[in-house]
Amino acid sequence: MTDVAVSISHMNKYYGGFHALKDVNLEVEKGERIVVCGPSGSGKSTLIRCINRLEEHQEGSINVLGTELNDDVANIDIIRREVGMVFQHFNLFPHLTVLENCTLAPMLARKISQADAEKSAMMFLERVRIPEQAEKFPGELSGGQQQRVAIARALCMKPEILLFDEPTSALDPEMISEVLDVMVGLASDGMTMICVTHEMGFARQVADRVIFMDHGEIVEEAAPGQFFEAPKNERTKEFLRQILSH
């Protein structure tokens, strides 16, 4: 069929009277890597949280992998199983070991046997280079390690799309690169990724497109080369000046 992973058209989101997302249109193809940036409060997190229904949109339509995202609970379940998410604060389950964090959803939501779930979890933990911590609890790991476990946990569901919500902004500087390395590795394997991040080096290196948002609108959308060298919009120029100035 189509190769469209996510298709958002004329989507509006309100928090009470506050217009959080204004007429957002976005098409993401399978295998595409998108970086979303913008000043804080610009709606970039809200945008990707709408894609797996952690936030509800009020107008317009969101279609994920051919399934329309609406009030239908079954649709939401289908989409959430196919869309993985990595959070700013990792959000691991602190009462479960690293391995249990990774096997919980595959066993319950995908009905995979425990043995198979553990085998595939160990494979993904190796991929994020942390298999030796499988029996530890999240609270016993560093921030960078926890975020890599969170990525492995999302991968264990074998999702088609991965959403990253500022995955490195809660990390100490020396741990950022270990997480970014894993993300670069995923990108080169052809994973469809939508990343909200301020890591402009990552954006330059892996993004197919960079999206700049401000006040709930998509202001500019361009390939990274053009985005960084010749931004068209004044607000984009201002934003880039601020974050690249030091």
Residues in contact with another protein by the rule CB under 8 A:
52, 54, 77, 80-81, 83-85, 87, 89-95, 97, 104-105, 108-109, 114-115, 118, 135-141, 150, 153-154, 157
Q: What is the DSSP letter of 96?
A: S
C-beta of 84 vs 224, nearer to another protein = 84
Q: How far is the CB of 60 from another protein (least distance, A)?
A: 22
Q: How far is the CB of 82 from another protein (least distance, A)?
A: 8
Closest CA to 138 of 129, 126, 127, 148: 148
Q: Please provide residue 19's backbone torsions phi and psi, each rounded to the nearest 5 degrees.
A: -85, 95
Q: How far is the CB of 109 from another protein (least distance, A)?
A: 4
C-beta of 30 vs 136, nearer to another protein = 136
Please report where in the chains the tokens 């999702």 appear, as a residue. Answer: 159
C-beta of 54 vs 123, nearer to another protein = 54
Which contiguous run of DSSP H or E holds residue 177?
helix 173-188
Buried b / exposed e along 95-125 (16+ C-beta atoms within 10 A): eebbbbbbbbbbbeeeebeeeebbebbbebb
* CB contact at 8 A, 210 and 224: yes
C-beta of 194 vs 222, nearer to another protein = 194
Q: How far is the CB of 106 from another protein (least distance, A)?
A: 9
C-beta of 94 vs 225, nearer to another protein = 94
Q: How far is the CB of 141 from another protein (least distance, A)?
A: 7
